Structure formats: structure tokens, C-alpha cells
Amino acid sequence: MNSTLPAPISVIFGMSCLVLPLGRSLYVRKYELKYRMLNDHSETSGGAQALAPVATVVRIVEQAFVNPNLEDGMAGRLDGKVAIVTGAGSGIGRATAVAYAAEGARVVLAELVAERGETVAADIRSAGGTASALTVDVTDSARVETLVAQTVELYGTVDVLVHSAANVPLVNDHDARLTELDDDIWHRIINLFLTGTYHVCKHAGRQMITQRSGSIVLVSTTDALVGVAGLDAYTAAKGGVTALTRSFAAGMAPDNVRVNAICPSFVSSEPQQAWLADATSHDTIDRLHLLPIATPEDIAPMAVYLGADESRVVTGSVFPIDSGYTAFKAKLDVISAMRVQS
């Protein structure tokens, strides 16, 4: 067999060697420009409008040349998808944003605390992924609407929404039995966890309807499945999120949009570190689980699955990812207790 390539193939191969690296370099430079402009304009939808020509050039260059996420040429499970991750500066949101980028998604990190989102976005870009951080308060409907518009301006679509925004200290330190609950705490918890979910589902959902495709992944909690004393406002909010997962999934299915929820139990995210470091508290929580307490990185793979096309027949489902928390009656020897010798 003749190993010499025919002349036209050699020419095409040679040009590819020159053009693909050039294209990638051009892409990266355009992306950096786009990212700087985005941050300069992130507080107004007018900024997104101003980005339109740059974003168009970037998309053309990207489509024409290479995907910078996939240095090794392997296809990612989320290759080509655009994902918004709320609360992406910490915990489950951070781990999910990183996992999404590693699987080839272009990620918009929607975070209340700007420097948190920017730090995670910079880490993703340093690793060769594509990410932009936007400062967003999910309790502000107009800001969430602008977030969706900016994402479309940047990357063309919103294929996945992962909603993980949370104020864990507000819950841990201030939630209570209803009879002792401060009215203001009730309203703040419902506003963030339930109304915030309404805002992100509404605006991302509207975009997904126009695309006739999309996947929404809501981070709920096992507290919506098994009662726990003293967390009534949080449980009410997350119970709403969990029930909403089913009704919204039913409503969105005709438009080819899926909606699912993940229910973690205890997760060792940043705000949980204080009690995890306390031996007594740690032991109490540990006794509620069959397996080790989850890290945020243990939750992210389920969010990847639900965002990817491999879960295309999964909707309206609620998944406990909980180290066995909902599967058993705590670490008690129930059977021995029942077999008391008389």
C-alpha cells in the first residue's frame, strides 16, 4: 500500500495544521475580549446588546475552528451545550459548573457574590474550559431575565439551567419551628429558595420554549422528603420546589423541556465546614447516613447526567443523592430493640 498521501489531501492536511491553531488562538483572544466587555457591561441589558457583534464573530470563529474545551479531541457529555449555573461560586453550584465545563459545556456562573463567581470562572478558563461569571441575585426577576438574555448574546442558547443558589447560614442559624419563627426569616427564606426558583425557571424556561429544547435541574433537599424539626421555612420552600419539579415538568414536556430535581442530604459545602469540624456535631450527622457525608463533587455527576442528552427520557423525577439518608432509620439497632428477652 502506498503511504504517500495524494497531493490534494496533503494540501488540505497542511492547511489544517496552520489554520486550526490560528483559529483557536483567535478564538481565545476574541473570547478574552468578550469576557472583559461582559464584565464591563454585566449590570445592564444594554451591555448585552453592545456585545452582539463581538459575540457573533466569536460564534463564527468557534464553529469554524475548534472547541477549546476538548484539547484531547474526546467528546464531552455536554459538548456544545450552554449551561447557566446559579450559586456557582461555592459548594454544589461550583462543583457542578466545574464538572459541566470539563464535559464540554460553556458555562455562565450566576452568582450573588461577584468575586466568588469570577474566581471559579477563572479556574475553569485556566483549565481550558469556557466560562463567564455574571453577578445575579435570583430574587430579582428583572436581573434573572437579563441573565438569560446575556447568556443568549454570549453563546446563542440556554440548553441547561442548574439552580443551586442558597444562603445556608440564613437557614442553619435562623430557621425554626413555625411557632417560634420570625416573620422576616420566613419571608426571606421563601423569597430566596422558592420565589428565586420561580424566577430562574420562568426566564430560562421561556428561552428553552423558543428553542424547543432544554433541561432544568433544581437542587432541592431530602428535607423536602423526610421531616426534620426546626427547619419549617426551608422545608416549605424546598417542598414547593420539589412539587413544582413535577408540575413544571408536565407543563414543559410538550415544548421538549425537561425538569428534574436532586435532593442531597448533608453536603460538606463551604458553609457547612463549621459544624463538620465539631466532633460531636459531625458524629450526630454521620449517624443519619449509611455512607460518608457527600462532598459537592459527589452531587455534581447527577447534575451532569440530568443536563446531558443521555437522560432524554427523564423528567419530573426527584433524585435523592444522600448517602442512604432516606433509605433507613438512622444507625440504630432496631431489630435488637424489638427482640427484648422477657
Ligand X SMILES: NC(=O)c1ccc[n+]([C@@H]2O[C@H](COP(=O)([O-])OP(=O)(O)OC[C@H]3O[C@@H](n4cnc5c(N)ncnc54)[C@H](O)[C@@H]3O)[C@@H](O)[C@H]2O)c1
Enzyme catalytic residues: 234
91 vs 205 by CB, closer to ligand X? 91
- Cα–Cα distance between 95 and 220 in angstroms, integer? 16
Distance in Å, CB of 86 to ligand X, minimum: 5
DSSP string, 143-172: HHHHHHHHHHHHHS---EEEE----HHHHH
CB 258 within 8 A of CB 310: no
Q: How far is the CB of 200 from ligand X (least distance, A)?
A: 9
Residues in touch with ligand X (CB under 6 A):
86-87, 89-93, 111-113, 116, 136-139, 164-168, 192, 219, 221, 264, 266-267, 269-272, 296
Taking the complex as a whole, how short is the minimal distance between the CB of residue 22 and ligand X, in angstroms? 38
| Other C-beta atoms lying within 10 Å of the C-beta of residue 299 | 25
Residue nearest to ligand X (CB): 91
Query: Cα-flanking dihedrals φ and ψ of residue 318, to 5°?
Result: -125, 120
**Rounded to the nearest whole angstrom, what is the least distance from the CB of residue 103 to ligand X in the complex?**
19
Residue 195 or 311: the one with the smaller Cβ distance to ligand X is 195
Nearer Cβ to ligand X (105/112): 112
Cα gap 13→145, rounded to integer Å: 45
**Residue closer to ligand X (CB basis): 192 or 304:** 192
From residue 76, alpha-carbon distances to 23, 128, 260, 310 in Å are: 20, 13, 21, 12
The candidate with the shortest Cα–Cα distance to 84, out of 62, 72, 101, 59, is 101
